[in-house]
Amino acid sequence: MQLENLTSFIGTEVKSIDLREPVSDDDFAVLRDALNQRSVLLFRGQSIDESQHVAFSRRFGPLLGHVLTQFLKKEHPEVYVLSNVSENGKPIGNHKEGWNWHSDLSYKAEPSMGALLYALEVPPVEGDTFFASMHAAYEALADDMKARIRHMTATHSYANYYGKAFADRNPLTPEQLAATPNVVHPLVRTHPETGRLSLYVGEDVVKQIDGLPAEESTALLAELNAHAISPEFSYRHKWLAGDLLVWDNRCTMHRATPYDDNVYRRVMHRATPYDDNVYRRVMHRTTPYDDNVYRRVMHRTTVAGDRPF
Ligand code: OGA
Ligand code: MN
């Protein structure tokens, strides 16, 4: 296994590894560490089937499904399909998914840890995916902006995203709406493994920054989104069939780009690990002492956590 960085801030290509074979614990520890440091891992030239894709993805955490259950593979419901292809008059995957900047499943109370997207068929031109480092974006903010937003929260809304991205489709059913209530997340989150801070924003799925007048919220969100997607923090991936990309949704955003969907087919399979490291549990206890003889007086202040991250 060899590792080669793709850009200065984000992305590492992993070479000489065949993901049809189980990855040893030692190699997996190297991959996990590389993902924590570099946020995106690229494996080219793979030929994995669905169960191998699922097995490798599970190493990163338990896998999440999707509210649009029609796009989950029947035999492997951990696999979510993105595609413009229809079979027997039915789309086999969600087309135009993620054509704006987002972090996957940020609309859930406990969002994804990352995603593993495998390219089965890709157009020869366009249909690329951009990734941006939200660590780099946060760290490049001016100090007064860092201080201003450090403890702010934002409301993430799947309904808001769906309404904008898929305005031409049937609206979400009452069941789908009930399964995707709006959620509140910190605007600046802490990476649960490295402790590094990052910006947690997004287009469309992030409906508002909480506690601000609507205009101010819209303006601040636009400013942060524009900053977050600066080319200097990003990597543009040109897909080849057989590419598997793994990304860390705790500290990146990404977006797909359009392509000539009348001419070309694009078929992508995604598995989406859940962040089972959301809460870090630390316990403590006090030991007894001779309380007939000694006095013990302690004062405590209690800092609100910005977790669940
Ligand atoms: C995703 C996604 C982008 C693409 O799989 O989560 O946003 O290029 N995909 O298909
Ligand atoms: Mn996505």
H-only helix segments in 150-252: 158-165, 174-179, 214-228
The CATH number that domain 2-273 falls under is 3.60.130.10
Amino acid 64: pLDDT: 95
Would you say the CB of residue 42 lies under 6 angstroms from ligand 1?
A: no
Mean pLDDT by 10 residues, the chain (309 residues): 96 98 97 98 98 97 95 98 97 97 95 97 97 97 97 96 96 97 94 92 97 98 97 95 98 97 98 74 81 96 63
Burial of 300 (0-12, 13-18, 19+ CB in 10 A): exposed
Atom from ligand 1 closest to the CA of residue 237: 8
Distance CA 138, CA 228 (A): 8
Q: Which ligand has its closest atom nearest to the C-alpha of 258?
A: 1
Look at the pTM and tell me if it is higher than 0.85.
Answer: yes
Contact 46, 243 (CB under 8 A): yes
Would you say the CB of residue 34 lies under 6 angstroms from ligand 1?
A: no
- The C-alpha R_g of the chain, in whole angstroms, comes to 21
Would you say the CB of residue 115 lies under 6 angstroms from ligand 1?
A: yes
Q: Which ligand has its closest atom nearest to the C-alpha of 268?
A: 1
Would you say the CB of residue 273 lies under 6 angstroms from ligand 1?
A: no
Distance CA 217, CA 196 (A): 25
Would you say the CB of residue 237 lies under 6 angstroms from ligand 1?
A: no
